[in-house]
Amino acid sequence: MDATAINEPGPARSAASITLENIGKTYPDGTVAVGDFSLEVGAGDLAVLIGPSGCGKSTILRMINRLIEPTSGRILIDGQNILDRNPVELRRHIGYVIQNVGLFPHQNIRTNIGTVPRLLGWDKKKINERADELLELVGLDPSRYAKRYPHELSGGQRQRVGVARALAADPLVLLMDEPFSAVDPIARGRLQEEFLKLQATVRKTIVLVTHDIDEAVRLGDRIAVLAEGGRLLQYAPPAELLSRPDSVAVGDFVGADRGIRRLAVTPLRPALRPVEEGAATDGRPVVEADGTLYDALAAMLAADATEVLAVEDGRPVGLVSRAALFDVPKAFDVPTNEAEAAV
């Protein structure tokens, strides 16, 4: 790719791969925040970094947009070394969402969203149109919200504006540092759901930092579990991480209740058994066939039922019983300390 490509998203390229090659950050006082960390994030994928406090997650994220300069290693975006680029220019093409959003309090929402396009010299009409388009995309009606100021929005709404602002200049890459942790759990669940829909539309390459394993499982295409000093313990899709944690440390981290979490990433459809055309619900709870085994379990527990009926476009397409939920591949083989010591 040519040297300016990461500054020219263009209609055909809306995401780029990210390669972190043996990156490290040692602070002048000798603190090794990140020792030697490598990771590959495919174009359009969402990678989650998770691990205990102080393990270097934010440092890694901030090295990708050069808010922090690595002391070793290389970072490539679509194969191009970002250390060869002007950091300010680079940051205009990498969306960044942080916990408390950092909206400018004295600018209205439309102006806040237009921050980067303005820096890039877009004309005013195009900036306003883009801001309104993004407000729609994050579920805020522009006619109601564009002229409001940040303090006139709820925390969850501000967070959506933060996402809209990060997407404004159609960046190839989006970095998100605990983007939903400042909102209450109910609003957070809704934001995560909306965010997944948004990502299905915009398909950016995203690196997201979180403390919350449920959020990681829900949002990540792949999850990187880190230990102190930015040591990568495992990098795997959520279902694999939950079913086959490859060390005791990862097993402990994903939690004893990972079986339940695993239901949340297991599609319901393969567990369905056929149902006659036009079958009645017969008082059974109903779930969407596109849901997960977790949705089916939740519906059963709520209705104290032993079966649920799965529907598609309102039509019954299958049944799932309580027993079938426990038939998910029995691969919960966490290594024991002994087994790990033996290898």
Binding to ligand ATP by CB under 6 A, coded x per residue (else -) over 35-74, reads ------------------xxxxxxx---------------
Report the greatest alpha carbon distance in the chain: 71
Shortest separation between residue 301's beta carbon and ligand ATP, angstroms = 33
Q: How many CB atoms lie within 10 A of CB 334?
A: 18
Q: Which is nearer to ligand ATP, 111 or 234 (CB)?
A: 234
What φ, ψ does residue 191 adopt, rounded to 5°? -60, -40
Pick the piece of the chain touching ligand ATP (CB under 6 A) from 8-16, 26-34, 194-202, 288-296. 26-34
Strand partners, 232: 226
**Residue 112: DSSP 8-state:** H
Q: Which is nearer to ligand ATP, 16 or 226 (CB)?
A: 226
Q: Which is nearer to ligand ATP, 23 or 135 (CB)?
A: 23
Pick the piece of the chain touching ligand ATP (CB under 6 A) from 27-35, 154-162, 165-173, 267-275. 27-35
* Nearest of 120, 204, 126 to residue 167 by alpha carbon: 204
Q: Which is nearer to ligand ATP, 54 or 267 (CB)?
A: 54
Shortest separation between residue 215's beta carbon and ligand ATP, angstroms = 13
Shortest separation between residue 208's beta carbon and ligand ATP, angstroms = 12
Provide the pairing of β-strand 222-227 with 72-77. unpaired
Instruction: Classify burial at 68, counting beta carbons within 10 Å of its beta carbon; exposed 0-12, middle 13-18, buried 19 or more.
Output: middle
Q: b/e map of 241-265 (b: 16 or more CB within 10 Å)?
A: bbbbbbebbbbebbeeebeebbbbb
Shortest separation between residue 35's beta carbon and ligand ATP, angstroms = 11
What is the spatial distance between Cα 51 and Cα 92, in angstroms, rounded to a whole number? Answer: 28
Q: Which is nearer to ligand ATP, 249 or 305 (CB)?
A: 249
By CB under 6 A, the count of residues binding ligand ATP is 12
Q: Does 270 bind ligand ATP (CB under 6 A)?
A: no
Q: Please select the residue that binds ligand ATP; options are 2, 3, 12, 29, rule is CB under 6 A.
A: 29
Q: How many CB atoms lie within 10 A of CB 213?
A: 21
Shortest separation between residue 329's beta carbon and ligand ATP, angstroms = 32
Q: Does 220 bind ligand ATP (CB under 6 A)?
A: no
Q: Which residues contact 82 (CB under 8 A, 6 or more apart)?
A: 6, 64, 66, 75, 76, 90
Rg of the Cα trace of the chain? 22
Q: Does 31 bind ligand ATP (CB under 6 A)?
A: yes
Instruction: Point out which residues bind ligand ATP (CB under 6 A).
Output: 27, 29, 31, 33, 53-59, 211
